[in-house]
Amino acid sequence: MDKTTLVERDFKDGEILIKELDKAHINVHSALWLYNSESDSWRLIIASKIADFSSPKKAYSHISKVLKDMKNSGVSVGFSLENITVISPNHPLIMILSQAIHTGPNDINGIRFSRNRIGNSYIEDAFIYRVQPA
């Protein structure tokens, strides 16, 4: 699916997926939509300890299973696994964002973070659900 533009449904669908990941006991440390100006696309970034303790393939298979279970129960989202990036909670992006934004470990917020500089890093655009310090 082309993700050059995010719409309200994408924001809601991201929230639905995060809730389902939480229910599946996948430790979602931080989650956000992040715009990449070089590729002119949005990615749903999921920071989870599964990225630290398993192979990338296994981390994505956990999320794929949740997406499949959602679909089988009649809940669909307007994006696929191809639009998701799984990273470590210790990834530089999360470390940088957590300097400016903190949410609770189970919170799901809708914080728009556009054209902001944190230290030497520039965030073109992001829609943040959850960011915790590492």
pTM: 0.93
Print the domain residue range for 113: 8-130
**95 domain residue, yes or no:** yes
pLDDT, tens digit, for every residue of 86-98? 999 999 999 999 9
pLDDT, tens digit, for every residue of 56-100? 899 999 999 999 999 999 999 999 999 999 999 999 999 999 999
CB proximity list for 131: less than 8 A, separation 6 or greater: 30, 32, 94, 97, 98, 101, 102, 103
Looking at the 3D structure of the chain, how many domains does it have?
A: 1
**59 domain residue, yes or no:** yes
Report, in angstroms and rounded to the nearest whole number, the Rg of the chain calculated over CA atoms: 14
